[in-house]
Amino acid sequence: MGRSPCCCHDAGVKKGPWTEEEDRTLVEHIQRHGGHVGSWRNLPKAAGLNRCGKSCRLRWTNYLRPDIKRGNFTDDEERLIIALHAELGNKWSTIATHLNGRTDNEIKNYWNTHIRKKLLRMGVDPVTHQRLPHDDVLGGALAAAPGLPEALLSAAASLGGLNSVLMQAQALQLLLQAVSNGGAAASAGLMASFSPAADNAMPPPMLNASSIVPNFQDQQMSLLAHAANYRPADDYLSNLASFAEHDAVRQPNASAPTAAAALVPASSFPQEVAAAADRRPVQGFSDLLSEAMEVPSMYSLEDEHFWKDMLAESNHLPL
């Protein structure tokens, strides 16, 4: 015969948020016993609490323990969590042993609400810590971009044939431009959401592309000027998949820091580009993308500096 059943399944045991009085009762009880709990199962009865022992243990270890460190995580702590997670995975309790005063629950929550999203925005799989598959990079970036039309997300997904993150990002940028009222001139509304200043409605640019590739901004402007030749047909979105299939260009070695890095705020569109979009005739999607193919491969996860740079850069990102 084993032990008697746990109290957690007893009827009438209180659940939900702890009151101040319950907290005080638990703390005083543990302090009376010199900080030693003994059996969590017997604790509620001994302390006069109508709680499950498990619930008491959780409340103590995650909230009431005197050595718990409250407040925001520091940059050093964040870096340490990322590094430890890369090595240990979701071993939150093990990770917590490396951060003084932080609980596994707190670290887990911080990971899920902050770090995970930040890595996704950077095109890094938070599970494997590897670069996301190309299709997923946009997905990851866009997952953190609520409010985009479903059709646009589908359109982005259909660009999977473009085998470069940068190309996809460029293409998406142009799609946004094109979808929005049929020309770059009127694209400010959608594209503005890519601006870091737009109330965080969209993910901000991640790595500073301009610092990685000389004249990156010039290349962007050149591309946008080229894009100005394009005006979407009415059935643009519905035909997009076949467009992408027809125009798929493989660049197996092409890579980029992130999708978001290639995005340029609408506010930086030259007015002449916008005006040109309203004048020039429609051209094929392949023409639209041809110049994107010429943007050089810039950055690689295989590059030994990737993580160093990424972590350094992450410190400057808003959450």
Partner DNA sequence: AACGTGAGCAACCGCCTGATG
Partner DNA sequence: CCATCAGGCGGTTGCTCACGT
Residues that bind DNA (CB under 7 A): 1-6, 8, 14-18, 39-41, 53-55, 57-59, 62-63, 90-94, 104-106, 108-110, 112-114, 117, 144, 146-147, 199, 319
In the complex, least distance from residue 187 CB atom to DNA, rounded to whole angstroms:
18
In the complex, least distance from residue 151 CB atom to DNA, rounded to whole angstroms:
17
In the complex, least distance from residue 72 CB atom to DNA, rounded to whole angstroms:
8
In the complex, least distance from residue 86 CB atom to DNA, rounded to whole angstroms:
14
CA distance 213 to 185: 27
- Nearer CB in complex with DNA: 73/285: 73
- Nearer CB in complex with DNA: 147/252: 147
- Nearer CB in complex with DNA: 30/254: 30
In the complex, least distance from residue 163 CB atom to DNA, rounded to whole angstroms:
30
- Nearer CB in complex with DNA: 72/215: 72
In the complex, least distance from residue 8 CB atom to DNA, rounded to whole angstroms:
7
CA distance 196 to 176: 17
CB 297 within 8 A of CB 253: yes
In the complex, least distance from residue 158 CB atom to DNA, rounded to whole angstroms:
23
Q: What is the DSSP string of 75-115?
A: HHHHHHHHHHHHHH-S-HHHHHTTSTT--HHHHHHHIIIII
Report CA torsion sign: 281, 284, 285, 286. negative
Question: How long a stretch of residues is the chain?
Answer: 319
- Nearer CB in complex with DNA: 103/255: 103
Q: Dig out the tokens for 301 from the structure.
A: 């996860």
Q: Dig out the tokens for 67 from the structure.
A: 């050595």
- Nearer CB in complex with DNA: 79/116: 116
- Nearer CB in complex with DNA: 120/172: 120
Place of tokens 């569109």: 269
Q: Dig out the tokens for 36 from the structure.
A: 């030693």
- Nearer CB in complex with DNA: 129/231: 129
Helix (H/G/I), strand (E/B), else coil: 14: strand
| φ/ψ (deg, to 5) at 14 | -70, 140
Tell me the residue type at 269: F
In the complex, least distance from residue 133 CB atom to DNA, rounded to whole angstroms:
21
- Helix axes 165-179 and 216-227, enclosed angle (nearest 10): 50
Name every residue whose Cβ is closer than 8 Å to that of residue 18 and which is 6 or more positions away in sequence. Answer: 26, 59, 63
CB 300 within 8 A of CB 306: yes
- Helix axes 134-143 and 150-157, enclosed angle (nearest 10): 160
CA distance 159 to 245: 8
Q: State the Rg of the chain over Cα.
A: 26
